[in-house]
Structure 1
Amino acid sequence: MTFSIVGRCAETGQLGIAISSSSIAVGARCPWLRAGVGAVSSQNITLPALGPQILDDLSFGSNAQAALDKALARNGYGEYRQVAVIDAQGRTAVFSGRHALGIHGAQAGEQCVAAGNLLAGEGVIEAMVTAFEQGEGSLASRLLNALQAGQTAGGEAGAVHSAALSVVDDLTWPIVDLRVDWADENPIGELEKLWLAYQPQLRDYLTRALDPTQAPSYGVPGDE
């Protein structure tokens, strides 16, 4: 049903998630991020509340494993959940319940953790971790490349229809929050198109938010 990669950039401290699913609008339910705190992918039979609860506990000083365990115990039905967590220092935790769908698995790597369920094969998760660890460039690009590597390795057992890419830095809002809520074919490819269009504009949008006097032209009628 879903496969994801959660990662951190050791140089910038950015945190991010790239995720894809056969379900509609995966980006609205599964990825949760908070700058300077951590990132959580809550998937399989998704309970969105797990993301904010884990991030709250991380912000209060809990480690990744303790925050994950507490959230699962608090809400029940943990055997149906799959959750991947990374904190602001790059420490990880992951859980796959016994009712996770189909072929499922999870693997922690250097500054990352990948997880998936209803997979085409067991090599999908390893491919994602390897691609992230060996990747270069921005965190967003590395996450997206890792997601594509998972798809190339087989991805989900059936067709995927939605995908999302989110990154937080040191601001209270995501610097990247791109979603393909539904595509009949290749939502990961559509997500890549969005990222390639957004990447050269990213810094301009930050400038507009933080210092409008230095903002580049908006390119709209009436703009001077």
Structure 2
Amino acid sequence: MTFSIVARSADGESWGVAVASKFLAVGSPVPAAVAGVGAIATQADANVAYKGLALSHLDDGATAEVALQRLLEEDDGRDHRQVGIVDVDGSAASHTGGDCLDWAGGVTGDGYAIQGNILTGPEVVEAMEAAWLASGAETSLERRLLAALTAGDEAGGDSRGRQSAALLVVRDGAGYGGNDDIACDLRVDDAASCGGTPIVELERLLSLSELYLTASTDDEKVAITPELEAELESLATGLGHRDFAAWVGTENYEMRVADDGSWIDVRILEIIREAGR
């Protein structure tokens, strides 16, 4: 009922899961990840306890394959389970139980595990792997995972249809304000809310997340000179705000403007100038 990819970035700094299904809120039961530890997707007749157990095994030093074997050995329902795991070093393991509904299967490679069940056919997994490999190491893990998920959907995806999708990526210090490791945690719980295209909606949400919730690179920073500061204050008050800082807080651009007022992201500068016209 689900197809997913679990992966580590080529630089070894990020881990994540992308998943889609004809199942309500698939982002709740399937994915889990911890920075510096690894990631897992548990699906088919999902055993959600696998998430905490697998990450605990990985944190204790087990490889993905060893962690998977421990899960299966302790579970009488293993023949109904499907699991993908990637560990801290990028080693991957995948399991498809013999009682999973057709088409069901998976593939692993350096840094990724791809799996699905009740799919239109093996071409779904094949398309996901091809898209993952084609996306290139220079692409962010978020975008690589989404590209693979999109390819699987376009190849047929879940044979029952589309309902939900999710994207989870972790990286040390990547969370809001740098206070946790959640680089991206996006979910489309029901396709009825987005015209029946949850993966398309997931891509839209990722673009918004990249704008609001990621830190600006040095190339994106524009120094705020006294002249620019005066312009920003004028634009903000002209838009009805107390001052520029109030505008930033109201629009949720805190991650894109320096706390000390020394720089502004070039995109935010363009946004406020456009709004003030």
Global fold match (TM > 0.5): yes
Does the 8 Å contact 2:20/2:166 carry over to 1? yes
Gaps of 5+ in 2: 174-179, 217-246, 260-277
Partner of 2:145: 143
Larger radius of gyration: 2
Partner of 1:54: 54
Runs of 4+ that moved beyond 4 A: none
Partner of 2:95: 95
Partner of 2:221: none
Task: Supply the AA of the counterpart residue of 1:219.
Answer: T
Distance 2:213 2:89 in 1: 25
Distance 1:155 1:114 in 2: 13
Does the 8 Å contact 1:131/1:149 carry over to 2? yes
1:37-74 Cα deviation digits (max 9, x unpaired): 00000000111100110110011011111111111222
Distance 1:117 1:50 in 2: 18
Does the 8 Å contact 1:50/1:72 carry over to 2? no
Distance 2:94 2:2 in 1: 15
Gaps of 5+ in 1: 206-215
Q: Please, which of 217, 220, 223 is the counterpart of residue 248 of structure 2?
A: 217
The 5 A counterparts of 1:73-112 are: 73-112=73-112
Distance 2:3 2:251 in 1: 39
Distance 2:15 2:251 in 1: 33
1:97-153 Cα deviation digits (max 9, x unpaired): 011112011001232110000000111101111111110421101100100000111
Secondary structure class of the residue paired with 1:203: coil
Distance 1:45 1:130 in 2: 27
Does the 8 Å contact 1:27/1:179 carry over to 2? yes
Distance 1:220 1:119 in 2: 41
Distance 2:211 2:88 in 1: 26
The 5 A counterparts of 1:130-169 are: 130-136=130-136, 137-169=139-171
Does the 8 Å contact 1:21/1:160 carry over to 2? yes
Does the 8 Å contact 1:2/1:118 carry over to 2? yes
Distance 1:20 1:105 in 2: 15
Partner of 2:122: 122
RMSD, aligned CA: 2.1
Aligned length: 214
Quick check: 1:191 aligned with 2:199?
A: no
Higher relative contact order (CA 8 A, sep 6+): 1
Distance 1:57 1:131 in 2: 30
Does the 8 Å contact 2:12/2:90 carry over to 1? no
